[in-house]
């Protein structure tokens, strides 16, 4: 079977998984009731004195069959039929699946005080898909750096633990693995922030020559750093005083983001200081996120390597006089990657699940942070909650497709099965 045929088959098999997740979210949305369903799509009605008010003069008879309620938004009479809220439940489900696949996830309600100040309050009333597309690059940068740390540490250390079994390096890896299981990510992140406050006098863990206090001047514009400073209170080398400490390409009203990724955009504009600063401030959160996954992957890599090194083809290579380093790298190492890749795919959902807490602790303006703001008691933003859930679902599905392709590449027998 050709690789592209295999990829198409895997994608087709994962579509029902996505529809299943959408169905679960649909059931949760339906349980909210018709008015809350409209709130979840288009935000709440006007607020007077922190109380949602409904005008008695605007009918909302289309919300539910036979209902004579009223609402404060004159558009609701037209929106309810568009969403199918006056249709049978199976038709409503069809509308929901269609809107989910076309990224019509509703509007940001912006209930909480945290959301109202998030990115200068620019997200209120914006489509959820648009807001998440703004924040996704920051989360992806953190995810890419975390994955790089995981692969750089877990695979080599796991292989060395297998080669030097029961020796000091194996004992050290065992301690590291058990520590990763014992320390939840949020606890480790909180302890690091507390240590920074006590030892450094700031909650920011990185001190740089251009920002001695550990803070940054680009918080509101770039979004990948803590929102703690006003413009110009701390600037990078090469920043223009006329631009309040910002580089020429990153001035208010003239922001240029070709890709949306702050590090990549800084490199495109040749601002290497800002690119380095961006990566540096993601290192500690990435290490916290990676720590738990390393603990899981490390043990699987070690056990897989031990199993492969006892197989006949490895013993044959040794009998032929092949150097041990070649046996480990070319023979045993490649074949042990099959289990490693499978486990990495299975743990990706666990890996993604840690982002909301870690972004909240370190105040990184990503999808996880806005999701935590959306679930605050009394200020729930259902459109953002369900939109972020679908986005994370798409990410997990995409990751599993990549894992399947890599597995088929390493072991062609998978494509023939």
Q: Are residues 109 and 18 in the same domain?
A: yes
Mean pLDDT of 291-308: 87
Mean pLDDT of 64-75: 45
| CA gap 241, 232 in Å, rounded | 8
Q: Which residues contact 30 (CB under 8 A, 6 or more apart)?
A: 37, 89, 92
173-177, 189-193, 302-306: which range is least confident on average?
189-193
Most confident of the ranges 142-151, 219-228, 400-409: 142-151
pTM, 2 dp: 0.76
Q: Are residues 91 and 153 in the same domain?
A: no
User: Mind listing the pLDDT tens digit for each residue in 113-144?
Assistant: 555 555 555 676 778 888 888 888 888 888 99
**Which contacts (CB < 8 Å, 24+ apart) does range 100-106 have?**
100/22, 100/25, 100/390, 103/129, 104/129, 105/129, 105/132, 105/383, 105/386, 105/387, 105/390, 106/40, 106/41, 106/42, 106/43, 106/382, 106/383, 106/386, 106/387
Residue 357 has pLDDT above 50, yes or no: yes
Residue 203 has pLDDT above 70, yes or no: no
| CA gap 163, 89 in Å, rounded | 59
In this prediction, residue 149 carries a pLDDT of: 92
Q: Which residues contact 176 (CB under 8 A, 6 or more apart)?
A: 157, 294, 295, 298
- Looking at the DSSP bridge assignments, the partners of residue 59 are 70
* pLDDT over 90 percentage in the chain: 2
Q: What is the CATH number of the domain that holds 215?
A: 1.10.3720.10
In this prediction, residue 35 carries a pLDDT of: 60
Pick the last residue of a domain from 121, 151, 181: 121
106-120, 227-241, 346-360: which range is least confident on average?
227-241
User: Mind listing the pLDDT tens digit for each residue in 322-336?
Assistant: 887 888 877 787 777
User: Mind listing the pLDDT tens digit for each residue in 339-350?
Assistant: 788 888 778 877
> Is residue 92 assigned to a domain?
yes
User: Mind listing the pLDDT tens digit for each residue in 368-398?
Assistant: 888 888 887 766 777 888 888 888 888 888 8
| CA gap 113, 117 in Å, rounded | 7
pLDDT band at 292 (very low <50, low <70, confident <90, very high): confident
Cβ atoms 85, 38 nearer than 8 A: yes
Mean pLDDT of 350-364: 83
> Is residue 126 assigned to a domain?
no
> Is residue 76 assigned to a domain?
yes
- Average pLDDT score over the chain: 72
Instruction: List alpha helices for 245-381, DSSP H.
Output: 262-268, 272-309, 312-319, 324-326, 334-346, 348-353, 355-362, 367-374
Q: Are residues 64 and 142 in the same domain?
A: no
Mean pLDDT of 203-228: 40
Q: Are residues 167 and 282 in the same domain?
A: yes
Mean pLDDT of 12-29: 86
**Which contacts (CB < 8 Å, 24+ apart) does range 187-196 have?**
188/288, 188/291, 189/285, 189/288, 189/357, 189/358, 189/361, 189/362, 190/361, 192/284, 192/288, 193/361, 193/362
Q: Which residues contact 209 (CB under 8 A, 6 or more apart)?
A: none
Pick the last residue of a domain from 87, 121, 155: 121
Q: Are residues 229 and 377 in the same domain?
A: yes
Q: Are residues 345 and 411 in the same domain?
A: yes
In this prediction, residue 112 carries a pLDDT of: 57
**More confident call, 313 vs 48:** 313
Number of domains in the chain: 2
Mean pLDDT of 405-410: 78
Q: Show the domain range for 38.
A: 3-121
Q: Are residues 332 and 287 in the same domain?
A: yes
**More confident call, 48 vs 37:** 37
106 Ramachandran zone, left/alpha/beta (phi>0; psi -120 to 50): left
Question: Considering Cα of 377, then 381, then 382, then 388, what sign does the dihedral take?
Answer: negative
Q: Are residues 176 and 260 in the same domain?
A: yes
117 Ramachandran zone, left/alpha/beta (phi>0; psi -120 to 50): alpha
Supply 51's token pair. Answer: 């109380």
Q: Are residues 200 and 91 in the same domain?
A: no
| CA gap 146, 285 in Å, rounded | 8
In this prediction, residue 130 carries a pLDDT of: 84
Q: Are residues 143 and 88 in the same domain?
A: no
Cβ atoms 288, 189 nearer than 8 A: yes
Cβ atoms 111, 44 nearer than 8 A: yes
């Amino acid at each position: 079977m050709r690789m592209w045929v295999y990829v198409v088959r895997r994608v087709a098999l994962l579509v029902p998984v996505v529809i299943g997740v959408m169905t679960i979210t649909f059931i949760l949305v339906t349980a909210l009731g018709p008015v809350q369903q409209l709130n979840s799509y288009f935000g709440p009605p006007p607020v007077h004195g922190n109380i949602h008010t409904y005008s008695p003069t605007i009918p909302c008879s289309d919300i539910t069959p036979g209902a004579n309620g009223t609402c404060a938004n004159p558009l609701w009479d037209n929106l309810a039929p568009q969403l199918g809220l006056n249709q049978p439940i199976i038709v409503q489900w069809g509308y929901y699946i269609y809107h989910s696949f076309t990224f019509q996830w509703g509007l940001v309600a912006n209930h909480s005080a945290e959301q109202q100040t998030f990115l200068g309050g620019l997200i209120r009333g914006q489509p959820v898909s648009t807001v998440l597309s703004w924040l996704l690059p920051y989360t992806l940068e953190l995810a890419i750096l975390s994955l790089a740390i995981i692969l750089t540490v877990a695979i080599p250390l796991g292989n060395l633990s297998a080669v030097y079994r029961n020796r000091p390096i194996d004992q050290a890896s065992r301690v590291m693995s058990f520590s990763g299981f014992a320390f939840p990510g949020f606890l480790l992140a909180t302890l690091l922030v507390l240590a920074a406050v006590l030892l450094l006098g700031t909650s920011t863990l990185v001190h740089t020559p251009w920002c001695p206090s550990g803070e940054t001047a680009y918080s509101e514009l770039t979004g990948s750093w803590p929102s703690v400073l006003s413009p110009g209170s701390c600037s990078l080398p090469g920043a223009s005083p006329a631009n309040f400490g910002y580089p020429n390409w990153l001035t208010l009203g003239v922001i240029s983001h070709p890709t949306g990724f702050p590090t990549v955009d800084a490199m495109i504009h040749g601002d290497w200081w800002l690119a380095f600063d961006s990566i540096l401030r993601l290192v500690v959160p990435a290490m916290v996120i990676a720590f738990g996954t390393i603990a899981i992957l490390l043990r699987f890599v070690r056990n897989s390597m031990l199993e492969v090194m006892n197989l006949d083809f490895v013993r044959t290579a040794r009998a032929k006089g092949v150097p041990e380093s070649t046996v480990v790298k070319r023979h045993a190492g490649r074949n042990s990657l099959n289990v490693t890749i499978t486990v990495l795919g299975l743990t990706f959902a666990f890996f993604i699940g840690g982002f909301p807490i870690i972004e909240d602790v370190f105040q990184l303006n990503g999808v996880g942070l806005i999701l935590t703001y959306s679930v605050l008691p009394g200020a729930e933003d259902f459109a953002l909650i369900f939109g972020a859930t679908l986005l994370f679902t798409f990410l997990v599905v995409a990751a599993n497709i990549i894992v399947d392709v890599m597995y088929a590449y390493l072991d062609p027998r998978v494509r023939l099965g």
